[in-house]
Structures are given as structure tokens and as C-alpha cells.
Amino acid sequence: MRPRHAALAALFLVVSVCAGQDGFVPLFNGTNLDGWHGLVGNPIQRASMEASELEAARKKADAAIAEHWRVENGEIVNDGSGPHLCTDAH
């Protein structure tokens, strides 16, 4: 199993265990990638970007996730390329 696939499997295991806890908010709706975006650089790089530069980089990363990420059978699937995913949630 590829490391990325193992990490996603672990994430879904944690989500399924935590789903019954009060205050739990799922990050993935099981249907589409709403609320998920392509990761732009690292926190230091993002903090140093002008707002317009960051917005352009986000649009480019989001276009790339549409190319490389999809939802199949309620699971997030990657083709092994493209940027990492990040969520709107903190």
C-alpha cells in the first residue's frame, strides 16, 4: 500500500471511530470534494504572499486537484500526482 493511501485509510479509520462523539464534524461528506482544496506551499510561503498572489496560487492548486483527485464509492482517490489536499476547516 502506498504511503498516501495508508494515510488516507488511517484518516478514515479515525473518522469512523470519532463519528459518534459529541461535537464531531466530518471533514468529508462521502460524495464530493466540497470544502477541500489544493494545498498552496507551506505556511511560511502562504504568509509571505500578497492576497492576489495567494488567490492565483489557490486557483491553480484547485484546478490541479480536479485533475488528480476524485471521489469513488464514498472514498477520496488520488492518481499519485498533483498537490496535497487541505480543508476549509482548521
75 within domain boundaries? yes
32 within domain boundaries? no
29 within domain boundaries? no
- The boundaries of the domain holding residue 64 are 42-90
pTM: 0.65
16 within domain boundaries? no
61 within domain boundaries? yes
**Which residue, 24, 54, 20, 29, is CA-closest to 39?**
54
| Domains held by the chain: number | 1
83 within domain boundaries? yes
pLDDT at 89: 78
Which pLDDT band, with edges at 50, 70 and 90, does 4 fall under?
confident
Lookup: cell for 1:
500500500
pLDDT digits (tens, 9 = 90+) for 44-85: 999 999 999 999 999 999 999 999 999 999 999 999 999 999
φ/ψ of residue 70, rounded to 5: -155, 170
18 within domain boundaries? no
- Is the model's pLDDT at 12 over the cut of 80? no
